[in-house]
C-alpha cells in the first residue's frame, strides 16, 4: 500500500515511511493511493469480535508488508489492553436510536488514546527494526504525551519528545499532567497563542527540511496518517454493533482539526454504510460555515471550555478536499 501527498509533489511512501514522515515534503498530508474495500460479509463478520481483532483486520489493510501481521497483532493487544473497559469503545444508549460512543476509557481518559496508544508502539517498532530513532517528536497532544512518552528504553538517549501546548487555554489539571512528569526525554513547551499557532510552528519545523532531516523530526498529531487509520476502527465496531452493514448509521462528531470525523469518512470509503457524518462544533465553526457557504473564511479563535475544538485551520480538511478535487494535487496546492 503506497501513500501519496495531497499536494502531489512528494514521492509516494509505504505505510511505515509515511508514519515516520508525518507531514509530506511538499507540505501536504499523506493518504492511501487507493482505498481498500471491505465487502458487506466482511463487515458483518466483525460482530461479536474483540476490538483488538477488528483493529488488526482493518489496520493491516493499510500497513501491508511494512510490519509483520504477528507484530501488529501483538502491539494492538498491548495498546488496547491498557483500556479500562473490555469493549475498549463501548456504546451507551441515550434514547430511541441514539447512542453515545464512549472513547474515554484509555489511560489518559482522552479519545486520542484510541490512536496514540498504538501509534507510539508502531513507531517504536519500526524505528527499532531500523536501528534508529527520531531526536524529536512534536505535537499538540496534552495529557497523552506525558503518559506514553515516558519510560521508553531503547538506545540513542539524544532522542526527545516535545509537546507544544497553549499556555492560556489549558485547564490547570492538564497543564500539571504535561509539566510534572519526571521523564528526562520529554519536554513541554508553552506558547502564548492558539492551537493554530501551535500547529503552524510544527508545520514550519517540518517545512524547514534541513532542520527536520538533521533532527529526524516526526509528528504524532493528527497530520500523521497512522492516527487516522487507528481511529477508523471504532466507526466499524460501533456501526456493526448497531446493525451494519444491514443498517446505515449516522455519526455526529465534535470536530476541531477534522481528524476524528475524517476517520469516519475513511470508513465510508472502505465500504461501511454510513448515512451521514455530522460536524458538531462550538463557536469556532469554520467547518460548518465552509460546508454551508463554500468559503473557507478565517475568523479569530474564541477560547471555550473545549480547547481542542478551538481551531480555525483544520489540517485534515485538506485530505477531504483532495478527494473532492478528484485527487488533483495541483488543485490542492493552488
Top mean pLDDT of 100-104, 119-123, 178-182, 193-197 is at 100-104
The pLDDT value recorded for residue 131 is: 75
* Catalytic site includes residue 167: no
User: Do residues 183 and 149 make contact, with C-beta atoms less than 8 angstroms apart?
Assistant: yes
Q: Which of 112, 167, 203, 248 is catalytic?
A: 112
Q: What is the mean pLDDT of the chain?
A: 87
| Beta strands across the sheet bearing 218-219 | 186-191, 160-166, 136-139, 218-219
Q: Name the band, by pLDDT with cuts 50, 70 and 90, for residue 235.
A: very high
Q: Which residues pair with 5 in a beta bridge?
A: 30
Helix (H, G, I), strand (E, B) or coil at 248: coil
pLDDT in tens, 77-89: 999 999 999 999 9
The predicted model gives 136-164 an average pLDDT of 49
Whose cell is 466482511? That residue is: 42
d(CA 210, CA 333) in angstroms, rounded, equals 22
Instruction: Kindly report the pTM of this predicted structure.
Output: 0.86
- Lowest average pLDDT, out of 6-15, 113-122, 191-200, 246-255, goes to 191-200
Q: Which residue has the higher pLDDT, 62 or 169?
A: 62
Band of pLDDT at residue 259, cut at 50, 70 and 90: very high
Residue 150 CA: distances (Å) to CA of 59, 161, 222: 25, 9, 20
Q: Of 156, 158, 149, 153, which is closest to residue 181 (Cα–Cα)?
A: 149
- pLDDT of 189 reads 80
> Residue 156 pLDDT more than 60?
no
Please determine, for residue 62, whether its predicted confidence score (pLDDT) is greater than 80: yes
- Kindly state the helix (H) or strand (E) to which residue 218 belongs, with its residue range: strand 218-219
pLDDT at 206: 78
Three-state DSSP at 48 gives: coil
Asked if residue 107 has pLDDT above 80, the reply is: yes
Q: Of 308 and 232, which is predicted with more confidence?
A: 232
Helix (H, G, I), strand (E, B) or coil at 219: strand
Domains identified in the chain and CATH numbers: 3-242 (3.40.50.1100)
- Give the C-alpha separation, 12 to 3, whole Å: 5
SS3 assignment for 132-201: CCCCEEEECCCHHHHHHHCCCCCCCCCCEEEEEEECCCCCHHHHHHHHCCCCCCEEEEEECCCHHHHHHH
Res 267: pLDDT: 98
Q: What is the largest CA-CA distance in the chain?
A: 56
The Cα 294–Cα 241 span in angstroms is 35
10 Å CB burial of residue 305 (0-12, 13-18, 19+) is: exposed
H/E/C letters for each residue in 6-28? CCCCCCCECHHHHHHHCECCCCC
The residue that leads in pLDDT, 94 or 186, is 94
pLDDT at position 142 is 47
At 161-218, the pLDDT tens digits run: 666 666 655 677 777 877 787 777 777 788 777 777 877 888 888 788 888 778 777 7
Q: Report the pLDDT value the prediction gives residue 50, as an integer from 0 to 100.
A: 97
45-49, 82-86, 244-248, 313-317: least confident range: 313-317
Q: What is the pLDDT of residue 181?
A: 72
Amino acid at each position: 500500500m503506497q501513500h501519496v501527498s495531497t499536494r502531489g509533489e512528494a514521492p509516494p511512501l509505504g505505510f511505515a515511511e509515511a508514519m515516520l514522515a508525518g507531514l509530506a515534503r511538499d507540505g501536504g498530508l499523506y493518504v492511501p493511493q487507493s482505498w481498500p474495500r471491505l465487502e458487506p460479509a466482511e463487515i458483518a463478520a466483525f460482530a461479536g469480535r474483540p476490538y483488538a481483532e477488528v483493529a488488526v483486520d482493518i489496520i493491516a489493510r493499510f500497513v501491508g508488508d511494512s510490519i509483520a501481521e504477528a507484530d501488529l497483532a501483538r502491539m494492538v493487544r498491548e495498546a488496547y489492553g491498557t483500556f479500562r473497559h473490555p469493549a475498549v469503545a463501548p456504546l451507551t444508549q441515550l434514547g430511541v436510536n441514539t447512542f453515545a460512543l464512549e472513547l474515554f476509557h484509555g489511560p489518559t481518559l482522552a479519545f486520542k488514546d484510541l490512536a496514540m496508544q498504538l501509534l507510539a508502539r508502531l513507531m517504536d517498532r519500526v524505528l527499532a527494526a531500523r536501528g534508529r530513532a527520531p531526536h524529536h517528536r512534536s505535537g499538540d497532544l496534552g495529557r497523552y504525551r506525558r503518559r506514553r512518552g515516558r519510560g521508553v528504553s531503547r538506545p540513542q538517549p539524544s532522542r526527545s519528545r516535545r509537546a507544544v501546548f497553549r499556555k492560556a487555554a489549558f485547564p490547570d489539571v492538564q497543564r500539571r499532567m504535561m509539566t510534572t512528569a519526571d521523564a528526562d526525554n520529554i519536554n513541554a513547551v508553552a506558547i502564548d497563542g492558539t492551537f493554530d499557532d501551535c500547529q503552524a510552528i510544527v508545520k514550519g519545523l517540518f517545512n524547514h527540511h534541513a532542520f527536520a532531516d538533521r533532527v529526524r523530526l516526526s509528528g504524532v498529531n493528527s497530520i500523521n496518517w497512522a492516527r487516522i487509520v487507528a481511529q477508523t476502527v471504532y466507526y466499524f465496531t460501533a456501526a456493526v454493533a448497531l446493525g451494519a452493514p444491514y443498517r446505515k448509521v449516522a455519526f455526529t462528531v465534535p470536530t476541531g482539526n477534522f481528524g476524528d470525523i475524517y476517520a469516519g469518512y475513511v470508513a465510508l470509503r472502505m465500504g461501511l454504510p454510513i448515512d451521514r457524518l455530522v460536524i458538531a462544533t462550538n463557536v469556532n465553526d469554520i467547518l460548518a460555515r465552509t460546508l454551508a457557504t463554500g468559503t473557507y473564511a478565517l475568523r479569530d479563535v474564541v477560547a471555550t471550555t473545549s480547547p481542542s475544538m478551538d481551531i480555525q485551520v483544520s489540517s485534515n480538511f485538506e485530505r477531504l478536499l483532495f478527494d473532492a478535487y478528484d485527487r488533483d494535487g495541483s488543485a490542492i496546492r493552488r
